[in-house]
């Protein structure tokens, strides 16, 4: 092996060592908080408060999960989150598709002007107060619809879906269908939608994850706690109203109530995050595809 080849092999090894080291550090940074929260949810609260927990559970107990599973408010908020995510995502997909497809057609008069107006909303918005007043005037404050209607369309997703229609579905195919007597509505249902399953799957993932993690709209528009999503209940336990939850633990002493509430925080975080954590390995490729759509034309 000559000197140049040996030098190249040595440089490759150094490069691989650096890359693997950086990757290992990043993995530890990402995984440690998740493992800590999971371990804390099963650990003795005294160990958590005293700093005795570092990685693995200490003083294994299921008291926090037992209390969470018997808490009707938490399960009601879980049901609300599932409903908001399901109904909201359906509305998002329908409206996003109906606006993105016409904008992708070459024969739409003024489509560039429409895109400029739509893109403008990405950078300049009315603000929280005007938006709240509109929602209030529509009678949606403190209702189910306040969680799904105000954010029915995301401008970025419209642009991504429009780009897919333009780059992935040949215009000649649409012209051929129209020459064969296919109406615009039939073209959309019979040709465009069947060919758009990849982008629809990506949009479902984008919107569903957004709805699942959303709490700000609930914080603004909802006053009835029976309508609260799970993320808002978790926020209240973590930040605002821990004392209110302590009062519900009447079968325990005050010190035990405080300790159990500490464990409950971690248990609820795990329960709230579990669906996304389980689904993410299976949908990661769709997220990557969603980011790459339109980046390469051909």
- In this structure, the answer to whether residues 155 and 185 fall within a common structural domain is yes
Rounded to whole angstroms, how far apart are CA atoms 293 and 286? 10
Same-domain check for residues 42 and 174: no
Looking at residue 257, its pLDDT comes to 58
Ranges under pLDDT 50 in the chain: 241, 251, 253, 297-298
Q: Are residue 243 and residue 114 in the same domain, yes or no?
A: yes
d(Cα 243, Cα 235) in Å, to the nearest integer? Answer: 13
> Of 40, 61, 82, which marks where a domain is finished?
61
Do 223 and 96 lie in one domain? The reply is: yes
Locate the DSSP E strands across 12-122.
Answer: none
Predicted TM-score of the model (pTM): 0.76
Task: Give the residue carrying structure tokens 């895109």.
Answer: 115
CATH number where 111 lies: 1.10.3720.10
pLDDT of the residue at 270: 83
Residues 19 and 37 in one domain: yes
Q: What is the pLDDT of residue 88?
A: 93
pLDDT (tens digit, 9 = 90+) per residue, 5-56? 666 667 778 888 889 999 999 988 888 888 888 888 888 777 777 777 777 8
Instruction: Say whether both 34 and 182 belong to one domain.
Output: no
At residue 286, the pLDDT reads: 60
Residues of the domain holding 7: 1-61
Q: Among 61, 85, 101, identify where a domain stops.
A: 61
Both 210 and 127 in one domain: the answer is yes
Instruction: Check whether residue 56 and residue 200 sit in a common domain.
Output: no
Q: Give me the number of domains the chain comprises.
A: 2
**What phi and psi, each to the nearest 5 degrees, are found at residue 223?**
-115, -25
Residues 153 and 192 grouped into a single domain: yes
Same domain, 240 and 110: yes
Helix axes 254-292, 3-41, angle to 10 degrees: 140
């Amino acid at each position: 092996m000559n000197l140049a080849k040996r030098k190249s092999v040595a440089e490759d090894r150094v490069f691989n060592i650096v890359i693997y080291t950086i990757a290992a550090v990043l993995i530890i940074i990402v995984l440690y908080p998740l493992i800590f929260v999971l371990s804390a949810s099963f650990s003795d609260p005294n160990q958590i408060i005293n700093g005795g927990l570092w990685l693995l559970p200490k003083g294994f107990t299921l008291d926090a999960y037992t209390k969470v599973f018997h808490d009707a408010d938490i399960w009601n908020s879980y049901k609300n989150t599932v409903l908001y995510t399901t109904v909201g995502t359906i509305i998002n997909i329908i409206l996003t598709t109906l606006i993105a497809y016409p904008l992708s057609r070459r024969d739409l008069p003024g489509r560039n002007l429409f895109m400029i107006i739509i893109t403008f909303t990405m950078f300049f918005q009315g603000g929280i107060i005007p938006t709240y007043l509109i929602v209030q005037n529509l009678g949606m404050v403190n209702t189910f619809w306040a969680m799904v209607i105000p954010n029915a369309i995301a401008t970025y997703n419209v642009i991504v879906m429009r780009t897919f229609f333009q780059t992935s579905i040949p215009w000649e195919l649409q012209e051929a269908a129209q020459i064969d007597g296919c109406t615009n509505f039939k073209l959309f249902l019979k040709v465009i939608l069947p060919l758009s399953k990849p982008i629809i799957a990506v949009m479902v993932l984008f919107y569903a994850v957004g709805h699942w993690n959303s709490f700000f709209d609930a914080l603004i528009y909802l006053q009835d706690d029976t309508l609260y999503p799970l993320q808002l209940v978790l926020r209240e336990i973590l930040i605002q109203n821990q004392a209110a939850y302590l009062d519900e633990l009447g079968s325990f002493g005050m010190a035990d109530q405080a300790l159990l509430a500490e464990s409950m925080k971690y248990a609820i975080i795990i329960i709230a995050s579990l669906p996304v954590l389980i689904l993410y390995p299976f949908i990661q490729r769709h997220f990557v595809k969603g980011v790459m759509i339109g980046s390469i034309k051909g």
